[in-house]
Every structure is written in structure tokens, then in C-alpha cells.
Amino acid sequence: MQKRDIFMSIVIAIIIIFFVANMSAINNFLSVHTDKTIEFGHSNIVVPEAWNTTDEVNLSSQAKTDNGITNNYTIIDVWDDWPESSITDISNAKFASMESGGFKVLKKENERNGIYYCTRDDANYPQSLRGIKNSPALIYYRGNIKIANDYKSIAVIGSRKCSEYGKQLSYETSKYLTQKGINIVNGLALGCDTFALRGALDNNGRCMVWMPCGLDNIQPKNNRNLADEIIAKGGCLLSEYPVGTEIKKYNYVERDRLQSGISQGVIVIEADRNSGTMHTADFAVSQYRRLACYYHRLLGNATGNKYLEDSADAKVIRQLSNLEEFANDILHDGQYEQLSLCLQ
């Protein structure tokens, strides 16, 4: 029994000596080589695993530089630009390990690809998004984001598999709104969205497009040239997702709330009752945006339009005067009422 106790004591002593001798290496491994993702809002922060609690990244009250962004949690762009006095909640050892490890959430390399970002504290942040539920703490963009605050916007959306008449309505609706100086908003999808964007761009209009992924991965691929044209003609691409984010199904629904959120109104061209377009229509109602839809017997896939008409959540566009009234209400900030538009 005594020999066993002596043996165990020796083993424990060896273990203690090993940990003491290698404490620095172990700490560096935990701080640098292992990381985890902390979610806030709809963005992710990658931080060393050694930050075991969110309290350690809750530095919103600390000083920051132009290259750092804070919301409830801190996103750090370039570690070298952060003085140690700005991160008093983090030990010098952890800061040093992060700095040498090169942990960055927002990388300056993005700017070389024309991708920038703004937060709720920035003047360029779209004012219309500030009041919606779950507004993004941070927005990535390419192009001229200032148009979101300089002009009124209407989301012109509809089914990917639309009828020929739906394509025509998409084009002509955007053309008309563009001539009134209104931005066109949608998600760059094939079908109605594409024809709506085309109607704006062909008539010197401005477009804003929300991506359900990082701005380095424009989807659909068939519309990448269209995306470049939007930027070239004074519009912008937007996303709440960091560079490198791939598309997941739920991203589309999250994106849909921003299409209506950044707009003062939403027009549904043609949609099936169960289509993703109806998510944006639902968000328009919950966000107190003006809502309109076309309804016509020539529209081949318009069960969603019929639903909106019957629900009285939208104003029905039956003729040009209805569209004109809808646009003018938005342009002149008239008394808000939820509208439902349908074309006969």
C-alpha cells in the first residue's frame, strides 16, 4: 500500500512539472490555434477559444479606432490599430496571442474587392432599417449605399417562374417608378426580380439588391453581370453576411425582411401563395410598409396575389392611376395606410 502511495505521488509530481513547464505553450494553443464563433444579431465573430465567455468580448464601452466596430460585442478589423488601453478586459497575454495569430473578422483586403461595411452608428446606415425588428448591426456593401438615404425606395418582387405578362409588368413597373426617382429593391433572383432590375437600369434608374450570402459570392451566377451593371450605374449590393458566407435556406427568409425593411413600399408582381415572395409581403405588413400587388387573369402564377387581395393587406393595382397613387403616397410621405394593389 505504501509503495502504491509513493508511485502515485511520483506520477502526480511528474504531471504537475509537465504542466508548469509547458504552461506558455498550452496557453498559446488555446488562444491562437483553436477558435470559436460567437453570434450577435445576424453576424458572427471569430474569437480565440480562450475567450470562454462573451463578457470578455463585451467591449462596447471601450475606446475604438476607425478600424474597429462595436455593437453589443466588439468586432475588430485590424488588431495592430488597437492600443492595449482599449482592451483592458483582455489580458496582455491574450492580446499578444491574438495579435500574432492574426485574428480578424473584417479584413482590409475586402476593400480591394470593393466591399465595405457600415454599422448603425454610421451616417450611411440606411435610416429605414433602424426601426425594424432584428435590424443588422453591420451591413456589407458594394457600390453607392448613400442612395438608401437620399431617395425613396420600393421593392419590386415576384416569382422566379413568372408568366410573360409578369415579366412585362416587372419591367414596366420599375421603368415607371424609376422615372419618378425611386430606387428599385429586390434580391437579384431570376424571373420577376431580374426584369424589374432591367426596367430600372435601361431607364437610368438606381437599384439596391440584398444578397443572402457574402458579397464575394453573387448569386445567381447568371446575374453576376447584372450585379456589376447595378454598381456601375450608381446602385449597390448589400448583405448582412461576411465575405465567404455560403447560401443556406434560412438566409433567404432573413434577407426578405431587409428587402422590405430598406424600402418604403413593396409591390408584388406575381407570386404563388407558398413562394418566398410572400415572406417579403408578410414582413412589409409587420414592418408597417406600404404593400401593393398586381392581380390579373393573364398572370399565370398569382395565387399569392389573390391571397393579398382577399386579405386586404395590400392595395390592388388595376390600372396606371393605382400605381401612380401608390408611388406618390411614398414620395410625399402621406399618411400611412397599409395598401393592397392588384391588377384586374
Instruction: Quick: pLDDT tens for 286-341.
Output: 999 999 999 766 687 799 999 999 988 899 999 899 999 999 999 986 433 333 33
Q: How far is CA 292 from CA 178, 196, 308, in A?
A: 17, 15, 8
pLDDT tier for residue 2 given thresholds of 50, 70 and 90: low
- To the nearest whole percent, how much of the chain has pLDDT over 70? 66
- pLDDT higher at 119 or 195: 195
Q: How far is CA 312 from CA 88, 291, 327, in A?
A: 56, 10, 19
Query: How deeply is 201 buried, as exposed, middle or buried, from its count of CB atoms within 10 A (0-12, 13-18, 19+)?
Result: buried
Query: At residue 235, does pLDDT exceed 80?
Result: yes
Range from 46-60, 82-96, 120-134, 329-343 carrying the lowest mean pLDDT: 46-60
pLDDT of residue 99 exceeding 60:
no
User: Taking 90 as the threshold, does the pLDDT of residue 81 lie above it?
Assistant: no
Are 269 and 162 contacting, i.e. CB atoms less than 8 angstroms apart? yes
Give the rounded distance of the alpha carbon of 10 from its chain centre.
58
Residue 138: beta bridge partners?
Answer: 119
Three-class SS state of 185: strand
Q: Which neighbouring-strand residues pair with 35?
A: 48
CA distance 267 to 292: 5
For the ranges 101-115, 221-235, 305-319, the one whose mean pLDDT is highest: 221-235
Domain annotation for the chain: domains and CATH numbers: 2-106 (no CATH), 116-331 (3.40.50.450)
Q: How many Å apart are CA 227 and CA 237, to the nearest integer?
A: 7
Q: Which three cell numbers stand for residue 48?
A: 480565440
Q: How far is CA 76 from CA 14, 56, 264, 312, 316, in A?
A: 41, 13, 33, 47, 48
> Tell me, what's the pLDDT at 245?
85
Query: CA 306 to CA 321: how far, in whole Å?
Result: 20
Q: In this predicted structure, what is the pLDDT of residue 31?
A: 41
Choice between 31 and 327, residue whose per-residue pLDDT is larger: 327
Q: Can you tell me the distance from the alpha carbon of 214 to that of 197, in angstroms, rounded to the nearest whole number?
A: 20
Flag whether the pTM goes above 0.85.
no
CB 129 within 8 A of CB 258: yes
Nearest-angstrom CA–CA distance, 157 and 170: 8
Look over the chain and give the mean of its residue pLDDT values, rounded to a whole number. 76
Average pLDDT over residues 154-165: 94
- What residues does 184 pair with on adjacent strands? 154, 207
pLDDT band at 170 (very low <50, low <70, confident <90, very high): very high
pLDDT at 124: 93
DSSP secondary-structure letter at 181?
A: T
Answer with the residue of higher pLDDT: 114 or 84.
114
d(Cα 164, Cα 106) in Å, to the nearest integer? Answer: 43
pLDDT cut 90: percent of the chain above it? 49
Among 71, 67, 48, 139, which Cα is nearest to 109's? Answer: 67
